[in-house]
Structure 1
Amino acid sequence: MFHTRLVFALIVGSATAVTAQTPASETAAVQKTIQAFFDGMRRADSAAVRRTLAPGAVFHTLSSRNGQTVLRPESPTEFVKAVGSPHKEVWDERITFDKVLIDANLASVWTPYEFYLGSTFSHCGYNCFQLVKLTDGWKIAHIIDTRRKEKCK
């Protein structure tokens, strides 16, 4: 009886240790996908940005118009096309990872950001990413963000 309890405790303990290691590697993989999205954007590499997106990805932005909150859909296809189109200034979205939550094949990531056109500040806000883990890794399924010019941090 004691031997059975000891073996059970060792199995449960080792399963907990394995589970504790998984989130760090998964968190890093999720962050790597988001970083690849922005690295591609900075390089004006539409193919690199496209590789980070899940099929059917959805983009939204929240803004304020006449004191009212407006939810606006944005086309991922048009965004990817714009990234690869010639533009004078580098599109530089500077993020920090605030929260990364993962359950199985779903991740939710919260990132404050500041957006620059070249070295000129444009706007700031927060991004909320929803990622899914597909056979070829973590992909961005949904991005929603806020945009403003003041009260950035």
Structure 2
Amino acid sequence: MSATQTIHFYDRSVFTEEERAILQVAENFLNGIGNRDKALMSEQVLPSGGAVLMRNGAPIFTTLSGVIDRIPFDSPNKIEERISGQPVVRIDHSIAMAWTPYDFLINDKLDHFGTDIWSFAKLDGKWLVSSVADNARTPDTANQH
């Protein structure tokens, strides 16, 4: 299987170098999904960092390692999650956040979409995901709040 390449559906030129570095961590994590590269995903996170995944109106609480374990790496289907709209990034010294709209595709067809809210911590000069929260809507529930 060939590695997926990041396709930017947003304008990277509006971000500072540090903001782009933060977005790159998120993109590396998402590229790990399409590339079926658990190690790449794990390199981007604080493993015991937290996650809240809103599914069907109910939260799933897990660690970032738990998020990675939820990815169906053994599925025969092509899977991809990508940032699908213009992100918002904010930085305060050694912490940061990014708000990124996303699309999740299975075999190049939209399965669900939503927003990822990433928190980052800068350790030894490197940004790592410290937590994530997301929601997920299917195309048939797009207009429901």
Q: TM-score range by the shorter chain?
A: 0.7 to 0.9
Q: Is the 8 A contact 1:43 1:90 kept in 2?
A: no
Alpha-carbon contact 2:46-2:128 (below 8 Å) kept: yes
1:59 aligns with 2:51: yes
> How far apart, CA to CA, are the structure 1 residues paired with 2:137 and 2:122?
31
- Separation in 2 of the partners of 1:26 and 1:133? 11
Name the counterpart of 1:7. Answer: none
Query: Quick one: which amino acid aligns to residue 133 of structure 1?
Result: K
Out of 82, 85, 104, the residue aligned to residue 93 of structure 2 is 104
Alignment-derived partner of residue 21 in structure 2 = 29
Note the C-alpha offset of 1:151.
2.1
Quote the Cα distance in structure 1 between the aligned partners of 2:22 and 2:86: 11
Q: Which residue identity does 1:32 align to in structure 2?
A: Q
1:147–1:51 distance in 2 versus 1, CA, 3 Å? same
- The one of 32, 37, 45 aligned to 1:45: 37
Question: Which of 90, 103, 125 is equivalent to 2:114?
Answer: 125
Aligned to 1:114, which of 79, 98, 103? 103
1:92 aligns with 2:92: no
Task: Name the counterpart of 2:142.
Answer: 151
**Letter paired with 1:102:** I
Indicate the structure (1 or 2) with the bigger Cα radius of gyration. 1
81-90 or 33-42, larger mean C-alpha shift: 81-90
User: 3-state SS of the aligned residue for 1:26?
Assistant: helix
- Tell me the TM-score normalized by structure 2: 0.77
Question: What SS does structure 2 have at the residue aligned with 1:130?
Answer: strand
Q: What displacement does 1:136 show?
A: 5.0
Please state whether the residue corresponding to 2:142 is helix, strand or coil: coil
Identity among equivalent positions (%) equals 21
- In the TM superposition, structure 1's runs of 4+ consecutive aligned residues that sit over 6 Å from their partners are none
The answer for unaligned runs of 5 or more in structure 1 is: 1-22
Query: Any idea what the Cα deviations from partners look like across 1:106-137, whole Å, max 9, x if unmatched?
Result: 11100111111121221111110000111150
Task: Give TM-score, length-normalised by structure 1.
Answer: 0.74
Q: How has the CA–CA distance of structure 1 residues 88 and 75 changed in structure 2, closer, same or farther, with 3 Å as cutoff?
A: farther
Q: How many pairs does the alignment contain? A: 126
Q: 1:63 to 1:79 in 2, by over 3 A?
A: closer
